[in-house]
Amino acid sequence: MNPELSQDLSLLHLILNASFPVQVVMLLLLGASLMSWWFIFIKLFALKRALRVTDAFEREFWGGGDLNALYQRVAAERDGAGEMERIFEAGFREFMKLRQQAGVSVHVIIDGTRRAMRATYQRELDGLESHLSFLATVGSVSPYVGLFGTVWGIMIAFMGLSSVAQATLAQVAPGIAEALIATAMGLFAAIPAVVAYNRYTHDIDRLANRMESFMEEFSNILQRQVPKAV
């Protein structure tokens, strides 16, 4: 093999000598890949913490302890509390406020408690789903951005042959190779983003189901306590 041709086809040489549009595409894909990996690790640690805190809170809640003491603890540690803990705190606070009002029916108390928990649940779910839309966008768009760079690079490579009397592999190979690098970078950015998006969506759905089940069960517990409190 010709050593000069091998040197011309090195990865760094191809990237540095690519046409300007292809270099812009590569830069965009590199930035998207780095940002997606940043969000992947952030979301990984956040979901692990959410699962750990949720497990610990459920063990404490269903351990039969005093709800008032649990509420005081969660309210005091609200900034560092987990998603389910904040749902509990919002619901119990609304329950305590409504049951102290004279003439309020059981239905109104439980309905207000559920609305308070539902509002907090939606805020917590939005927080868990943050950055997922970016991963979805990178996963769906990056291959097409890379394909655009590939098409442009191949077009430039073949346009360069118009001024050559006889085309050879050595003349067309660098242009095609640099074009294919854009496709490879597009796939490199897209595949991890798609895998992470699917995995995290599954984990968030499981947490959301657990939080919804907790809200229903907690509402039933509070409903049994209303006749004693009113």
pTM attached to this predicted model: 0.81
| Chain mean pLDDT for the chain | 85
For 3-10, which contacts have Cβ atoms below 8 Å and span 24 or more sequence positions?
Answer: 5/170, 5/173, 8/170, 8/174, 9/173, 9/174, 9/177
**What does the DSSP assignment read for 9-75?**
T-HHHHHHTS-HHHHHHHHHHHHHHHHHHHHHHHHHHHHHHHHHHHHHHHHHHTTT--HHHHHHHHH
Q: What is the pLDDT of residue 7?
A: 45
Name residues of the chain where pLDDT drops below 70: 1-18, 160-175, 227-230
**pLDDT tens, residue by residue, 120-161:** 999 999 999 999 999 999 999 999 998 888 888 777 777 766
